[in-house]
């Protein structure tokens, strides 16, 4: 069964750098887990020329963005995210998961997950339409010792037409039976925040 997108609401704060010392940067969506078990998932946006060499600044207290072509207000019509999943087993020498989830985490069948996404700001929550472009088991990662869990890769294309660059993106990951598995949230930030990229 293919993963799908649906409506969910949650308002979150966008993390941004200090505008006083801002210089043009390459920008990207970067996301953090909101729950312990979510740290099994890592999200990375595919490079987008639209978000290259962008200056973040404030005007009358409002965060804005500017590129070589002028002031930027919205995301491009769509963005593509890559999500990787690997269970944090003992004996694995990797930093894919920043923290090891607690033992109370329910087992996840990575072949049977679905995604729900929304763009959010202080005044509204907007359903994020999208499709799953890829769902693939890449097998055990390199440097795996003792216990070796497979690395799963999901590629999602998300519609972002007329979505302000200051909006936040929320992704919920559920089982096909509807059981909640993970919650990830993020927004636009400097590309250097993105670490440990998906192969």
Where is average pLDDT lowest: 23-32, 46-55, 84-93, 122-131?
84-93
Q: What is the mean pLDDT of residues 152-157?
A: 93
Q: For the chain, what percent of residues have pLDDT higher than 90? A: 25
Q: How far is the C-alpha of 101 from the C-alpha of 3, rounded, in Å? A: 23
Place of tokens 């694995």: 92
Q: What is the mean pLDDT of residues 181-187?
A: 89
Q: For the chain, what percent of residues have pLDDT higher than 70? A: 69
Q: How far is the C-alpha of 134 from the C-alpha of 6, rounded, in Å? A: 18
DSSP calls for 65-102: EEETTEEE-B--SEEEEEEEE----TTB---SSSSPPP
Which residues fall within 8 angstroms of residue 73, CB to CB, at 6 or more apart?
64, 65, 164, 165
Average pLDDT, whole number, for the chain?
75
Q: Are 7 and 38 in contact (CB under 8 A)?
A: no
pLDDT confidence of residue 100: 52
Q: Are 96 and 84 in contact (CB under 8 A)?
A: yes
Q: Which residue in 28, 94, 16 sits closest to 56, CA to CA?
A: 16
pTM reported for the whole predicted model: 0.71
> Could you tell me the sign of the dihedral formed by the alpha carbons of 188, 189, 190, 194, in that order?
negative
According to DSSP, residue 8 is labeled: -
Q: Are 188 and 194 in contact (CB under 8 A)?
A: no
pLDDT confidence of residue 75: 92
Residue 199 has pLDDT above 50, yes or no: no
According to DSSP, residue 54 is labeled: B
Alpha helices in the chain (DSSP H): none
Q: How far is the C-alpha of 40 from the C-alpha of 150, rounded, in Å? A: 12
Q: How far is the C-alpha of 153 from the C-alpha of 136, rounded, in Å? A: 5
pLDDT confidence of residue 158: 94
Where is average pLDDT lowest: 36-40, 107-111, 184-188?
36-40
Coil, strand, or helix at residue 112?
coil
Q: How far is the C-alpha of 150 from the C-alpha of 141, rounded, in Å? A: 7
Domain ranges of the chain: 19-99+130-167+188-193
């Amino acid at each position: 069964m293919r993963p799908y997108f649906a409506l969910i609401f949650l308002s979150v704060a966008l993390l941004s750098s200090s505008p006083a010392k801002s210089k043009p940067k390459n920008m990207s969506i970067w996301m953090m887990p909101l729950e312990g078990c979510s740290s099994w998932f890592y999200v990375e946006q595919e490079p987008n020329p639209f978000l290259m060499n962008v200056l973040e600044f404030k005007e009358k207290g409002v965060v804005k963005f500017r590129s070589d072509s002028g002031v930027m207000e919205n995301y491009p019509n769509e963005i593509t995210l890559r999500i990787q999943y690997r269970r944090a087993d003992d004996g694995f020498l990797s930093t894919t998961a920043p923290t090891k989830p607690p033992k109370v985490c329910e087992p996840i069948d990575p072949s049977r997950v679905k995604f729900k996404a929304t763009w959010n700001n202080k005044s509204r929550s907007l359903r994020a339409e999208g499709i799953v472009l890829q769902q693939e088991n890449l097998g055990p990662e390199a440097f795996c010792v003792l216990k070796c869990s497979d690395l799963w890769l999901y590629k999602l294309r998300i519609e972002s037409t007329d979505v302000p660059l200051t909006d936040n993106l929320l992704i919920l990951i559920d089982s096909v039976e509807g059981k909640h598995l993970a919650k990830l949230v993020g927004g636009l930030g400097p590309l250097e925040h993105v670490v440990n990229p998906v192969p």
